[in-house]
Amino acid sequence: MSIEVIKPGLLTSLQDAGRRGHAALGVGRAGAMDDSAWRLANALVGNHAGEAALEITLAGPTLRFQSDAVIALTGGIIEARANGQPLPPWTSCFLPADTVLRLGVVRHGCRSYLAVRGGFDSGTVLGSRSTDLHARIGPLEGRAIQARDVIPFGKRSSACWFRGNKQVQALRWGLDPQPWLDYEQAPLALMRGITTRHSTRHREAHCLRNASSSARTATAREAAWKAHRYLCASPWN
């Protein structure tokens, strides 16, 4: 089970939580720049929280999936087409074998995350699968992906909500990316369509709009953890 890189995009690398605790040895942490978006990408495909994902910077790659896969795209909103069919972000999507996934520019934000069910099957260095581009440590000899790379991912039982499906398909529900895109215009919500102006969540969001940047980040991170715990405890995983 693997992914073939057709075009590498601007800068795409494998990242997880990073290598903590080695700074005294001169080893940087690396890891996902948007921790919450990375964790939620894994949650949407039913992975363990620490699995590595592809971190896509500004413009994405073109990838061929050599076997069936369940993926999720989170973080900045990125243009995505699977065999020409548009894919929504922030939800779980099924791609049959030989699907070509074309990822375009990141339209909101700087980085997007692609997680695949089963996790990327690369070796660990100092307990992490993160790519350190400066130290050349991590998967693919510590570099960004290149054309003709083949990236294996783990085998896991098919997701029950896509079982028996052989066409590109996305779930009809997804997480609300608003906390990552615009704190000012809408209330904070984890699921689309469930927030009302008079709800408790709206009042919390009103406080959030008046909070400092660090407080907003902490609130978004807390929301990410709540969503992750809910998704990982659900029967479809």
For 54-83, the pLDDT digits (tens) are: 999 999 999 999 999 999 999 999 999 999
- Report the mean per-residue pLDDT for the chain: 80
Q: pLDDT band at residue 113, thresholds of 50, 70 and 90?
A: very high
Q: pLDDT band at residue 231, thresholds of 50, 70 and 90?
A: low
DSSP 95: E
Q: Residue 197: beta bridge partners? A: none
Contact call for residues 5 and 148 (beta carbons, < 8 A):
yes
Q: How far apart are CA 188 and CA 179, in angstroms?
A: 6
Q: Bigger pLDDT: 216 or 15?
A: 15
Residue 214 has pLDDT above 90, yes or no: no
**How confident is the model at residue 226, as a pLDDT?**
59
Strand (E) or helix (H) holding 108: strand 99-116
Residue 11 has pLDDT above 90, yes or no: yes
Q: How far apart are CA 198 and CA 235, in angstroms?
A: 31
Nearest Cα to Cα of residue 55 among 1, 5, 130, 4: 130
Residues 13-43: tens digit of each pLDDT: 999 999 888 887 778 888 999 998 999 999 9
Q: How far apart are CA 172 and CA 234, in angstroms?
A: 17
**How confident is the model at residue 193, as a pLDDT?**
46
Mean pLDDT over 98-114 rounds to: 94
3-state secondary structure of 214: helix
Q: How far apart are CA 190 and CA 195, in angstroms?
A: 9
* DSSP β-ladder status, 11-15 and 53-57: antiparallel
Q: Residue 81: beta bridge partners? A: 86, 102
